[in-house]
């Protein structure tokens, strides 16, 4: 069993909830670790509950697991600097947003506010 990494807490001007203060972005992954289907499902549950304008939820999450052609394709689209650490991740997740509404008009806020930009942090917080 892997030991839990040392808790890192941000130094902030005002108190933050521990979930936020202890959030960090790893750039080193255990290449031998494999996420289970249940873990991936749990990870994606939080964005389902993210608020969205008109409850439209115009985002989609595509999950690719290491060893698949899709993972290789997503990995190859990253910058070399990101490829250097992302190759060892058990899964890569792509967030896509609907940028045109059903009436054909552009969705000005598709990537920000209460649209895809709001759902991605829910996923990251869950991770």
pLDDT in the model for residue 75 = 97
Q: Which two tokens stand for residue 35?
A: 């996420």
Domain span at 46: 33-126
> Has residue 92 been placed in a domain?
yes
> Has residue 24 been placed in a domain?
no
CATH number reported for the structural domain that contains residue 63 in this entry: 3.40.109.10
SS3 113: coil
Identify which of 95, 101, 90, 87 has the alpha carbon closest to the alpha carbon of residue 122.
Answer: 95
d(CA 22, CA 7): 7
> Has residue 23 been placed in a domain?
no
pLDDT along the chain (127 residues), means of 10: 65 84 77 93 83 74 95 97 93 86 78 53 54
């Amino acid at each position: 069993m892997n030991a839990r990494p040392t808790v890192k807490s941000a130094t902030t001007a005002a108190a933050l909830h521990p979930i936020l203060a202890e959030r960090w972005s790893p750039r080193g992954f255990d290449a031998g670790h494999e996420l289970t289907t249940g873990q991936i499902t749990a990870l994606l549950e939080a964005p389902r509950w993210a608020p969205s304008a008109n409850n439209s939820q115009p985002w989609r999450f595509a999950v690719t697991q290491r060893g698949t052609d899709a993972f290789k394709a997503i990995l190859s689209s990253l910058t070399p600097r990101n490829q250097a650490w992302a190759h060892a991740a058990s899964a890569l997740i792509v967030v896509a947003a609907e940028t045109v509404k059903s009436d054909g008009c552009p969705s000005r806020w598709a990537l920000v506010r209460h649209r895809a930009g709001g759902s991605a942090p829910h996923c990251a917080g869950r991770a």
